[in-house]
A = this chain, B = another copy of it.
Amino acid sequence: MMALDQDHPVEDLEPADSWALLAASELGRLAVSVGDIPEIFPINYYLHDRQVIFKTAQGSKLVHLTINRNVVLEADGYDDETAWSVIVKGTAKTIQDTELIEAARKLPLPSWIPTVKYLYVQITPHTISGRRFARGPETWQ
């Protein structure tokens, strides 16, 4: 059982702890809003100098929905006793600078289709927050 209660967090994490958890993870869910309708995508990301980097195929839906928008990235995880969730709010843009693209290519982001041309997207965080939840014993009502 993976039980959370978002209303009664056991612990609000310090920013440094939130950054550390975000850096140690690589799977997140990116939420965007288009015409006040939310969308959500699972992504692999890499944290580099406190910038969230991910890549996606040129022309993908994710590019169009993400660029120059307010986005939210959530990552979470758990061990036997606690669960954590970190949320980053920021703005997304494609990386255009050739040197930065070369640097981004060296980041450990998986490529599934070697022949596809990828765009690298950079999320500049404005805020980060994290919470850690105790897990069980649970009561059911």
A residues contacting B by CB (< 8 A) are: 1-8, 26-27, 29, 31-44, 56-57, 60, 62, 70-72, 74, 76, 85, 87, 105, 108-114, 116, 118, 134, 138-141
Q: How far, in angstroms, from A141 to B113 measured CA to CA in the complex? A: 10
**Contact of A7 with B116 in the complex, beta carbons under 8 Å:** yes
Asked if A42 contacts B112 (CB within 8 A), the reply is no
Partner of A111, one of B31, B33, B76, B140: B140
Assess the B2–A74 pair: CB atoms within 8 A: no
**Closest chain B residue to A10, Cβ basis:** B112
Q: Which B residue's beta carbon lies closest to that of A76?
A: B42
Chain B residues positioned under 8 Å from A113 (CB to CB): 5, 8
* Bound Cα distance from A110 to B40, whole angstroms: 25
Q: How far is the CA of A43 from the CA of B83 in the complex (A)?
A: 12
Known: A29-B29, A35-B36, A39-B72. A111 touches B85 (CB 8 A): no
Q: With contacts A29-B29, A31-B38, A74-B40 known, is A57 near B3, CB below 8 A?
A: no
User: In the docked arrangement, what's the CA distance between A138 and B112, Å?
Assistant: 6
CB–CB B56/A27 < 8 A:
no
B7 and A56: CB pair below 8 A? Answer: yes
CB distance from A91 to the nearest CB of B (A): 11
